[in-house]
Structure 1
Amino acid sequence: MREIYITNEGRERGKEYRFPALYMQKGVFYALLAYGIWGFLPIYWKWVDHVPSDEILIHRIIWSFVFSFIFVFVIIDRQEFLNSIRILRKEPKQMLIIFTASVIITSNWFLFIWAVNSGHVTDASLGYYMNPLISVLLGVIFFHERMNRGQRISFLFAVIGVIILTVSHGSFPLIAFGLALTFGFYGLLKKLVRLDALIGMTIETLFILPVAVGYFIYLQRAGKSVFLADSVLTDIVLVGAGLATFIPLFFFAKGVQRIPLYYAGILQYIAPTVMLLLGVFLYHESFSIVQFSAFSFIWLALIAFTYTNVKELYKKKQKGEVSM
């Protein structure tokens, strides 16, 4: 009897039942690619560190939309994309949520690019280490979720780490907190709207596209644009910013469909770890004993956090409440 799949997701689920081990191995591979690319992104942005961060940002928005639109509309599922647009047009509240998410992720992108090209790669890594903890805190505040004992211990360790950094530097780690908070709020808003990851990114960049294009035109007319006025390599890297955004998200979307939740929870720390190593060993950013002590408390927080989550998922699996 011929197998029939209505969607790509159904086709993938069919593979899961026939080849569970291979299916999960592919998922791990895709997730490793996604987190690895995200971790090495500082190197990419450093190639254009002579370009103002705002100009890099508008190219990231414009070309992210172009590449994701081509992929989603032409290659994947044109009808699903159009249906998503129609549904959003009938749901003003959902439209507002997506628009807000697009503004927040744009802020996150700008802050990350600026941090990397201003010599704050280690601060950026701290932000993405803190992100899972900030996400839980936002869940407590906005969704009235309850933290278990392990999560409370995690927060205690994280707070100690932040206090050490604040006292040693004489200022609050604003870059790290800004990245964690913007990405945390972005994740919170994404929970309220169920869209495919790639379609969601296409629509989000579509919302902010007019501003990006308008600013691009202004820079060109004012003679302030580096694009088409510098080297061919600079132009290629700026256009490639869209691929640098789209490709890891594509791998991530493919990966999380295939791997258990606790795998994704553990693998997410690859990106900030790679960033930290780049900041310290490649870009020779300051990383004192005091900073190491502060990061150690953050790492302890993440170990406790991950252990607690895996344990919780295992209990739910035993009760049949969740598939791991």
Structure 2
Amino acid sequence: MTDARAGLLAMIGACTIWGLSPLYYKLLASIPPLEVLAHRTLWSLAFFASLLFLRGRIAEVEATLRSSELRRRLTVSALAISSNWFLFIYSIQIARATEASLGYYIFPLVAVLLGVVAFGERLTRTEIVAVALAAVAVTVLAVREGQVPYVSLVLAMTFGIYGLAKKRLTIGAVVSVTTEVAILAPLALGWLAFVHLGQGGGTFGHDLALSGLLMLSGPLTALPLILFSFASQRIALSTVGLMQYLNPTLQFLCATLVFREPFGLSQALAFALIWTALALYSGARLSADATRRRAAVRSSTDVQD
């Protein structure tokens, strides 16, 4: 099997796990979302730390934590991804998985706007149109449903801030995520101690099936990230970008076909606008990538001549 084919299969695997994750979190709907989040944090730390220990790289986490600059940036990213995880878990429990999938659809457009604010990047005409269409979609939902789709907007914003905080980091994906969950671990431990000892409740240890599902949150968090990292090194970034739409598409199908969440005219119109915006945005990015590749080929040919 070629590297490119292996990378493509790994990317499909990562996006499929992410996209079908609502089915997993629906099984934990009887557990408060903060408790689920705390377990996800701790079991992710256990899984990632074990992986790095076996590979002889656990010292990289310690070195990262000793760097004040890295620790500051990863604290921001840790808080952002933790907020993202919590809201996603919560959205499944309150039957807003459709709205959650919309958040991951609009994330690339939110990321473009964050690039403008944080780095002074300029929007192309196509990107301006795509962002405007997304804004119209959100407005349609707000007017027709009587409330702003806060789940979608906050999910997209927290994931965008997460990416912003990790932009240009030189440490590997597994090391950075391990450091993030290590930073969050004291909060997770504190909350579980409060739930189990302070309130005399908690699920873990009282229900064998649910305890096993909570432990599974570690591998389910780690595996797609590892697959994504593997894929990113072997396939073109344009392919990575397009393949990531598989994630919210599967989430959308889970919400509408499995959970039977309502999907009326306003949702249909909003999603149609978002899909149109993403088609324009992706088409422009693919065209720009193709232009850069042709320019690189011409430059290489000129040097050889």
Moved more, 216-225 or 125-134: 216-225
Q: Which amino acid is the alignment partner of residue 49 of structure 1?
A: A
Q: TM-score, normalised by structure 2?
A: 0.94
Q: Which amino acid is the alignment partner of residue 166 of structure 1?
A: A
Runs of 4+ aligned structure 1 residues displaced above 3 Å come to none
Residue of structure 1 equivalent to 2:172: 196
1:228 to 192, 198, 205: 205
Aligned equivalents of 1:196, 1:64: Cα separation in 2: 16
Q: Which amino acid is the alignment partner of residue 225 of structure 1?
A: G
CA drift at 1:180: 0.2
Aligned equivalents of 2:152, 2:105: Cα separation in 1: 9
Q: Assess if the C-alpha contact under 8 Å between 1:98 and 1:193 holds in 2.
A: no
1:107 to 69, 80, 83: 83
CA drift at 1:302: 0.3
1:154 to 116, 130, 136: 130
Aligned equivalents of 2:64, 2:264: Cα separation in 1: 52
Q: Assess if the C-alpha contact under 8 Å between 1:62 and 1:209 holds in 2.
A: yes
CA drift at 1:227: 1.2
Q: TM-score, normalised by structure 1?
A: 0.89
Residue of structure 2 equivalent to 1:253: 229
Moved more, 216-225 or 96-105: 216-225
Whether 2:32 is the aligned partner of 1:52: answer: yes
Residue of structure 2 equivalent to 1:215: 191
CA drift at 1:160: 1.3
2:160 to 171, 180, 184: 184
CA drift at 1:87: 4.9
Whether 2:250 is the aligned partner of 1:270: answer: no
Whether 2:113 is the aligned partner of 1:137: answer: yes
CA drift at 1:214: 1.6
Alignment of 1:294-313 (within 5 A): 294-313=270-289
Moved more, 147-156 or 132-141: 147-156
Aligned equivalents of 1:293, 1:145: Cα separation in 2: 30
Residue aligned with 1:320, SS: helix
Shift in CA distance, 264/48, structure 1 to aligned 2, threshold 3 Å: same
Residue of structure 1 equivalent to 2:62: 85
Q: CA RMSD in A?
A: 1.5
CA drift at 1:100: 1.1
Q: Any unmatched runs of 5+ in structure 2?
A: 300-305
Shift in CA distance, 113/87, structure 1 to aligned 2, threshold 3 Å: closer
Aligned equivalents of 1:65, 1:155: Cα separation in 2: 36
Residue of structure 2 equivalent to 1:30: 10
Residue aligned with 1:319, SS: helix
Query: How many aligned residue pairs are there?
Result: 297
Q: Assess if the C-alpha contact under 8 Å between 2:19 and 2:246 holds in 1.
A: yes
CA drift at 1:318: 1.6
Aligned equivalents of 1:94, 1:228: Cα separation in 2: 36
Structure 1 residues 43-91: Cα deviation after superposition (integer angstroms, max 9, x where no partner): 00011100110100000000000001111221x342xx424532551x3
Aligned equivalents of 1:190, 1:132: Cα separation in 2: 15
Aligned equivalents of 1:117, 1:290: Cα separation in 2: 22
> Percent of aligned pairs with the same residue?
32
CA drift at 1:147: 1.1
Shift in CA distance, 71/260, structure 1 to aligned 2, threshold 3 Å: same
Q: Which amino acid is the alignment partner of residue 31 of structure 2?
A: V
Residue of structure 1 equivalent to 2:20: 40
Q: Assess if the C-alpha contact under 8 Å between 1:105 and 1:182 holds in 2.
A: yes
Aligned equivalents of 2:63, 2:255: Cα separation in 1: 44
2:150 to 166, 174, 190: 174
CA drift at 1:148: 1.1
CA drift at 1:124: 0.4
Aligned equivalents of 2:56, 2:94: Cα separation in 1: 40
CA drift at 1:39: 0.3
Aligned equivalents of 1:148, 1:281: Cα separation in 2: 37
Q: Which amino acid is the alignment partner of residue 58 of structure 1?
A: A
Aligned equivalents of 2:61, 2:119: Cα separation in 1: 25
Q: Assess if the C-alpha contact under 8 Å between 1:112 and 1:124 holds in 2.
A: yes
